């Protein structure tokens, strides 16, 4: 059985001071009735502060970064390396979010390098894929997303792939209030799982967790989580509101 996995992607929101207040408020009301795995992905500058509070107060929440470079170190001004995240004892790292692809020129090739670098540094990648509206309306969404899966996983060993999380996030549903229907989201997640079975094996595909992302909120999470191939959610906007994020966790 795959453990449900709810992750919050804060994007470029909250100062380190606001992040501290968030985790304290969150801890105060924290319940986890579905026994989900939970991960919070704040901006880099809040990782250490949140990690210290989580560890000190033994809050059962994982922590993730929103991006990283694939190289160990070097002349890459402004970048953060996998080794730096490993030293912070971060659990997860979001790789290839559509905003990174759209605004920072990330490609399937760079996503592939980052996914492999994450595993090589004991970080678990949450690898994002998803089509834009034009692709969906042209009826090419599945081919497009499965192509992303193939290219982003190239050369990744099967024993590592089993620990992968994929986030299927249709770009037209991100931050728009427009969610994919749970049936459409499940159809894509199921196609992704079949693709992974083809690339590796049925057993590996069954262990990979596939999240849906795109305007997830307290009012739609229960239906999304009732779908057989949706194992969790990558939550953007609603993850920086303590009440909404807790309501999503306790769907
Ligand atoms: P949203 O973002 O929940 O605000 O739509 C999701 C995401 O980009 O991960």
pLDDT tens over the chain, length 251 residues: 899 999 999 999 999 999 999 999 999 999 999 999 999 999 999 999 999 999 999 999 999 999 999 999 999 999 999 999 999 999 999 999 999 999 999 999 999 999 999 999 999 999 999 999 999 999 999 999 999 999 999 999 999 999 999 999 999 999 888 888 999 999 999 999 999 999 999 999 999 999 999 999 999 999 999 999 999 999 999 999 999 999 999 99
Which residues does residue 64 pair with via DSSP β-bridges, in sequence order? 92
Contacts of 109 (CB under 8 A, 6+ apart): 151
Residue nearest ligand 1's atom 1 by CA: 236
Residue nearest ligand 1's atom 2 by CA: 236
Query: How many angstroms is it from 6 CA to the middle of ligand 1?
Result: 12
Query: How far does Cα 155 stand from its chain's mean position?
Result: 21
Q: What would the CATH number be for the domain defined by 66-249?
A: 3.20.20.70
pLDDT for res 199:
98
Closest by Cα among 131, 142, 136, 127 to 192: 142
| Residue 181: other Cβ atoms inside 10 A | 11
Please indicate whether residue 97 is annotated as part of the active site.
Answer: yes
Please indicate whether residue 69 is annotated as part of the active site.
Answer: no
């Amino acid at each position: 059985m795959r453990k449900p996995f709810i992750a919050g992607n804060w994007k470029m929101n909250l100062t380190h001071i606001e992040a501290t207040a968030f985790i304290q408020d969150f801890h105060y009301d924290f319940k986890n009735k579905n026994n989900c795995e939970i991960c919070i992905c704040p901006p880099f500058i809040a990782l250490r502060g949140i990690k210290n509070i989580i560890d000190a107060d033994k809050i059962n929440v994982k922590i993730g970064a929103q991006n990283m470079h694939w190289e160990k170190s070097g002349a890459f001004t402004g970048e953060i390396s996998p080794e730096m995240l490993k030293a912070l004892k971060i659990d997860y790292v979001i790789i290839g979010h559509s905003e990174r692809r759209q605004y920072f020129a990330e490609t399937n090739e760079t996503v592939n390098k980052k996914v492999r670098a994450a595993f090589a540094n004991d970080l678990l990648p949450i690898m994002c894929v998803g089509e834009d509206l034009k692709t969906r309306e042209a009826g090419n969404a599945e081919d497009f997303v499965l192509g992303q899966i193939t290219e982003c996983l190239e050369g990744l060993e099967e024993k590592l792939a089993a620990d992968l999380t994929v986030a299927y996030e249709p770009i037209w549903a991100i931050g728009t209030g427009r969610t994919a229907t749970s049936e459409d989201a499940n159809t894509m997640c199921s196609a992704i799982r079949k693709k992974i079975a083809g690339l590796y094996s049925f057993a590996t595909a069954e262990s990979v967790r596939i999240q849906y992302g795109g305007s997830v909120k307290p009012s739609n999470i229960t239906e999304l989580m009732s779908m057989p191939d949706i194992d969790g959610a990558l939550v953007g906007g609603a993850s920086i509101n303590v009440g909404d994020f807790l309501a999503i966790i306790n769907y």
